[in-house]
A and B are shown apart, each in its own frame.
Chain A
Amino acid sequence: MEPIETQKKYQEYVDKKSPNSPILKNCFNAFWVGGLICTLGQIILSICKERGLDDASAGTVVSIILIALSAFLTGLNIFNKIGKFAGAGSLVPITGFANSIVAPSIEYKSEGYIMGVGGKMFTVAGPVLVFGISASIIVGIIYLILNTTGITLV
Chain B
Amino acid sequence: MNKLGRQTIKFERPPCILETASIVGPKEAEGPLAKYFDKCLEDEFWGEKSWEKAESKIIKETVYSAIKKSNLPISAIDYCFAGDLLNQCISSSFGLRDSNFPFIGIFGACSTFVEGLGLGSIFIDGGAANNVICAASSHFCSAEKQFRFPLELGNQRPQSSQWTVTGAGSAILSSSGTRTICYTFYSW
Contact = CB atoms under 8 A, between A and B. Distances in A.
A129 interface: no
Nearest to A110: B50
Q: Is the interface of B mostly helix, strand, loop or mixed?
A: loop
Nearest to B158: A21
B150 A79 contact: no
Contacts of B52: 110
Sorting the interface of chain A by its residue count into under 10, 10 to 19, 20 to 34 or 35 or more gives: 20 to 34
Nearest to A19: B159
A26 interface: yes
Contacts of A103: 149-154
Contact of A124 (B50, B153, B156): B153
B71 interface: no
Interface in B29-76: 49-52
Contacts, number: 65
B145 interface: yes
Interface string A103-128: 11011101000000000000010000
B54 to A, nearest CB: 11
A18 B153 contact: no
B44 to A, nearest CB: 13
Contacts of B145: 107-108
Interface of B: 49-52, 145, 149-160
- Of all A-B residue pairs in the complex, the 8 with the closest CB atoms, nearest first, are A83-B154, A107-B150, A18-B160, A103-B152, A110-B50, A103-B150, A103-B153, A19-B159
Given A74-B152, A79-B154, A107-B152, 8 more contacts: A19-B160, A21-B156, A26-B156, A84-B157, A99-B152, A103-B152, A110-B49, A124-B150
20 contacts: A18-B159, A18-B160, A21-B156, A21-B158, A74-B154, A77-B152, A79-B152, A80-B151, A80-B152, A80-B154, A83-B153, A83-B156, A84-B154, A96-B154, A103-B149, A103-B150, A106-B150, A108-B145, A110-B52, A124-B150
